[in-house]
A and B are shown apart, each in its own frame.
Chain A
Amino acid sequence: GQQLNQSPQSMFIQEGEDVSMNCTSSSIFNTWLWYKQDPGEGPVLLIALYKAGELTSNGRLTAQFGTTRKDSFLNISASIPSDVGIYFCAGQSRNFGNEKLTFGTGTRLTIIP
């Protein structure tokens, strides 16, 4: 089955630092998405990417859909305390009739006081 490798697994940063994480796949996806999960809650969509090479921003977040369609990255600039949480990439193949979304293993972001 499809495998999504996400790195790093965890990050410890100071407030104000920039953050970068990425995701690679063994197969091609039509859509890449990035979600954030806070403790005790379900994941929430941050950014969705629909075309190879697409670069999209949402406030301090920037994500790109790799040109090979097998990878994506997420950058967070000038981190703030509310950025703490677990970030998941997700890929969707959108084979006809099957819209299954496969999630990466997650990147846990911690801000050191």
Chain B
Amino acid sequence: GAGVSQSPSNKVTEKGKDVELRCDPISGHTALYWYRQRLGQGLEFLIYFQGNSAPDKSGLPSDRFSAERTGESVSTLTIQRTQQEDSAVYLCASSLDPGPKTGELFFGEGSRLTVL
């Protein structure tokens, strides 16, 4: 597709279950970001990929959170043993190769996670 695609768009799960969120970036974009946005809040950085490597994982809240990227394309964010405080919209974004315009991110519509 032409834009960043995320799935599922909505996910309701029970506390303690694992969830996987998927991101398909724009073709050719080597940089990929995950952000978390709680209701009414700003964007909280989680992790950044350059190619398949993650130079910055500093935003992952705990060891229950992990992410991987393969083929310099699809990325999966996994949350294990979900807690109610994990409820949020998880936004994925991608941008072009390293260079002056890498801050020009293109966002998906997000995956809304609700943990009951």
Contact = CB atoms under 8 A, between A and B. Distances in A.
Partners in one complex: yes
Interface of A: 1, 6, 31, 33, 35, 40-45, 48, 50, 88, 90, 92, 94, 97-106
Contact of B43 (A45, A99, A103): A103
Given A42-B108, A42-B110, A106 B42 contact: yes
Interface residues of B, number: 28
B43 A33 contact: no
Given A98-B48, A100-B48, A45 B42 contact: no
Contacts of B102: 92, 94, 99
B109 interface: yes
B100 interface: yes
20 contacts: A1-B58, A31-B100, A33-B103, A40-B109, A42-B108, A43-B43, A43-B91, A43-B105, A44-B107, A45-B104, A48-B103, A50-B100, A88-B42, A88-B43, A94-B102, A94-B103, A99-B50, A99-B103, A105-B42, A106-B42
B16 interface: no
A104 B55 contact: no
Contacts of A105: 41-42
A54 B94 CA distance: 25
Contacts, number: 67
Please name the 7 residue pairs, one residue from A and one from B, whose CB atoms are nearest each other, closest first: A42-B107, A103-B43, A92-B103, A105-B42, A99-B102, A31-B103, A98-B55
A100 B109 CA distance: 20
A107 to B, nearest CB: 10
Contacts of A104: 42
Given A1-B58, A42-B4, A94-B102, A101 B33 contact: yes
